[in-house]
Amino acid sequence: MAVNNERAGSTPLIERRSIDYIPEAERHGRLFSQFTLWMGANLQITAIVTGALAVVLGGDVFWSLIGLLIGQLIGGGVMALHAAQGPKLGLPQMISSRVQFGVYGAAIPIVLVCLMYLGFTATGTVLSGQALGQLFGVSDSVGILIFASVIVLVTVLGYRVIHWIGRVASVIGVIAFVFLFWRLMSQTDVGALLQIRHFSWSSFLLAVSLAASWQIAFGPYVADYSRYLPSNTSSMKTFFAAGAGSVIGAQVAMVLGVFAAASANGQFAGHEVAYIVGLGGAGTTAALLYFSIAFGKVTISTLNSYGSFMCIATIISGFRGHLQVSRLQRLVFVLFIVGAATLIALLGQHSFLGAFKSFILFLLAFFTPWSAINLVDYYCITRERYDVPALADPNGRYGRWNLLGIGVYVFGVLVQLPFISTKFYTGPLVAALGDVDISWIIGLVLPAAVYYVCAKKWHSAVPDRLILPAEQNSVEQSEIGGAGRAAAQA
């Protein structure tokens, strides 16, 4: 532990790594930071609104809470399995997809994930802009611009600052949520709400789907924030640290959303931020709650922006070879990403955003099969035995295009289409299922089974062990740099 602290202390505030492998000498951090990061990322207003949908759309309070918990556990398990890959590989999540899709082929799901990040960042920016507008007495548009500026700063600073923000957000979130729950309990007869039970399979499955989809959406970038942990970090402990933080944080937020919506008498929808803050009171208390809402969104919006940066860099490096991203290039990438999300937020804050969010939820169908393929390959086929240097070589072990992975991925997307239910698109079998979207279940189970069977028979040669980049060069460069500094000082 002392070694980890020493490494962390010597790590620069501004992250210099991007999608490249993290050498062992630069590994640092503690498992607890995984818990606090993902708890802070989930104790926020969008999770409250997501949980509230289970009741707003007709669900029973008691069974909605049960359904949400089941969904959290299923989706959180998938998310945490991705998190456990980070310390072992020392790589961002999406670059490891080159094993299953090829160095060029991995760009297919990554482009769609970038669009999802863009949409989630835009929707979160709108809610944060509302909170900052109320806090500073300015328009929502000015609040959006203030929030976007903060996101650019934190994303450029990178890994260490993001984890620090996560720890602070988790503390602020816990305090705010405890206070809001206390206020809600003092104003509402929660016991009476729990006693009104009308079970419906469609409403129950909707609650499960809301929570599971929420958790699975973290899959494409969760390993980005565990990749700096020492390589000997227990996979099981990483799984539980990231998974527990995400599941507990999301469930607490969604439970608050369920109770708030159930007691709102129709006043919740369309006035989410104002209603939640109104539970706490007015004046200074309201100002502090607006601040906590905006600060809570900083964590998850930064994760989305950072993940977008990683995805864009991964796509470019796949076609250009190994890519070293300078700090100036990182700033340009981040400004482009956050700028695009901010523009969408400004244009869609009044009308367009609802349709755009439906489009983003539709995009979830495109990376659920990616998640299934990636996890089956890592845990069941290759069993953690990746050739990391070959991930940057189109002529290497994994090739340019992996037709097996791409074929199963396309199958996984198509097989979901009859079961998708969004405003953007609704499949033909949705009505028969009570208007419940179970596409995420289909998108996880069927591609996983098909890929397992096919990969067992036709998978390319798997290394005998995990092959990592030689770290001798980085050690030598460090020693040369130290000798040079000593000579200069002499």
Whole-angstrom distance, CA of residue 446 vs CA of residue 105: 21
Bridge partners, residue 387, by sequence: 467
**Residue-by-residue pLDDT tens, the chain, 490 positions:** 444 544 544 555 566 666 778 888 888 888 998 998 898 889 888 888 888 888 887 888 899 999 999 999 999 999 999 999 999 998 888 888 999 999 999 898 888 888 888 888 888 888 888 888 888 888 889 999 998 898 888 888 776 787 788 788 888 888 888 898 888 888 888 888 888 788 888 889 889 988 998 999 888 889 888 988 999 999 999 999 999 999 999 999 999 989 988 887 766 666 677 778 877 777 888 888 888 888 878 877 887 887 777 788 788 777 776 656 677 777 888 888 888 888 888 887 776 556 665 776 777 788 899 999 999 999 999 998 999 888 888 888 999 999 999 999 999 999 999 998 887 788 999 888 878 888 999 999 999 999 999 998 887 778 889 888 874 344 344 444 444 444 344 4
The single-letter DSSP state of residue 324 is: P
Do 441 and 206 meet the contact criterion of CB atoms below 8 Å apart?
Answer: no
Q: Is 426 helix (H, G, I), strand (E, B) or coil?
A: strand
Q: Among residues 362, 385, 394, which one has the least CA distance to residue 462?
A: 385
Domains of the chain and CATH, by start = 26-353 (1.10.4160.10)
CB 190 within 8 A of CB 26: no
How far apart CA 282 and CA 264 sit, in angstroms, is: 17
Q: What are phi and psi of 279, to 5 degrees?
A: -65, -30
Contact 364, 213 (CB under 8 A): yes
DSSP at 379? I
Would you say 440 and 213 are in contact if contact means Cβ atoms under 8 Å apart?
A: yes
